[in-house]
Structure 1
Amino acid sequence: MHWLVYAAIVTATFIIMEAVTWLTHRYVMHGFLWYLHEDHHRKGPGFFEKNDWFFVIFAIPSIGMILAGTLDPELLWLQAIGFGVMAYGFAYFMVHEVIIHQRFKWFTRSNNMYIRAIRWAHKMHHKHLGKEDGESFGMLLVHQKYWEKVKKDRENTRNKN
């Protein structure tokens, strides 16, 4: 397989994973697997959450696809999909766990518009403590209304100075 095709499969998988994440978050995590996700909305004691099992749920097929493609060269396309899922998982970890929830204190302050918009969207998601009436189920794409909120806040801050 040509490396450009391989890279295209990895990239396409990464992009598709945003839709998969939105659908999974909306209909599975806020649906029949709410019992695993609930402690993410109602933080309890300790570092780990039952919600962390979703990392394992997505990692297992990713590892399986990477392994299958590694063992059988005819399944190299499957390995590329596995790496695309893994890359999205890494991005999800960095954005959700490090930047938004700051479970790891690697980056604590940022005036970056994207980071502020994504943190605001996630804050609006977490204002709902139950599985119903949620909003902003995606991870990396931010709805325009959150961008506008951050821009308005920035303008108000400039006008005060």
Structure 2
Amino acid sequence: MAVFIPALIVLATVVAMEWVAWASHKYIMHGFGWGWHRDHHEPHDNLLEKNDLYAVVGAAMSISMFALGSEWVMGEGAWWPATWIGLGIMAYGLIYTLVHDGLVHQRYFKWVPKSGYAKRLVQAHKLHHATIGKEGGVSFGFVFARSPAALKAELRRQREAGIAIVRESAGA
């Protein structure tokens, strides 16, 4: 039982981080934080992007939680769940790095899935990149992806409503 509660906190944090990532991506990265995120949507040959600064923000959130949970840092005021929340944030960051940067954008390894959920993640994120600029768009999450057909229909609706400029190659 001593392991169950911490494991539950880590798992709940990983799940919650997908919502945090979705909201941050939709309202910050495609909002006032577009200056850091823009180069992620534009072709370039650079090893790093300004967008990678968002990973530093995520790391700072995790480190802050580890500090809040540490008696070494906080003394008797340490809040024990914070350590496990920090671990959940770190785990989500690792998942994000492997899925988004590795699988979808092929920054670390070259593998193109032919079927299954991995293919759906790649398709959903490619549809996210189908818009030009920060307006409109679909699929702001990183680990949970709606069906490509539903995302294409949403892009088509946004294009017809004048909400988003969709690249012709997107098929929406």
TM-score relative to the length of structure 2: 0.79
Identity, % of aligned pairs? 39
DSSP 3-state at the match of 1:29: helix
| Residue-by-residue CA offset, 1:62-109 (whole Å, 9 max, x unaligned) | 01211331325741101111111110010000000110000112x423
Inter-CA distance 124–7: structure 2 relative to 1 (3 Å threshold): same
Letter in 2 for 1:142: A
* Contact 1:117 1:147 (C-alpha < 8 Å) held by counterparts: no
Q: Does 1:82 align with 2:89?
A: no
Distance 2:136 2:125 in 1: 14
Q: Does 1:92 align with 2:96?
A: yes
How far is 1:142 from its partner?
A: 1.1
DSSP 3-state at the match of 2:70: helix
Q: Does 1:143 align with 2:150?
A: no
Distance 1:52 1:82 in 2: 19
* Contact 1:117 1:146 (C-alpha < 8 Å) held by counterparts: no
After the TM superposition, which segments of 4 or more aligned residues of structure 1 sit over 2 Å from their partners?
Answer: 70-74, 109-112, 144-149
* Contact 1:66 1:82 (C-alpha < 8 Å) held by counterparts: yes
Please name the residue that 2:23 is paired with: 23
* Contact 2:70 2:80 (C-alpha < 8 Å) held by counterparts: yes
* Contact 2:127 2:151 (C-alpha < 8 Å) held by counterparts: no
Please name the residue that 2:170 is paired with: none
Distance 1:24 1:135 in 2: 14
Please name the residue that 2:57 is paired with: 57
| Residue-by-residue CA offset, 1:107-137 (whole Å, 9 max, x unaligned) | 4232241111000000000011200011110
How far is 1:145 from its partner?
A: 4.1
Letter in 1 for 2:91: A
Number of residues paired by the alignment? 148
Q: Does 1:108 align with 2:108?
A: no
Please name the residue that 2:32 is paired with: 32
Letter in 1 for 2:18: E
Worse-superposed segment, 107-116 or 126-135: 107-116
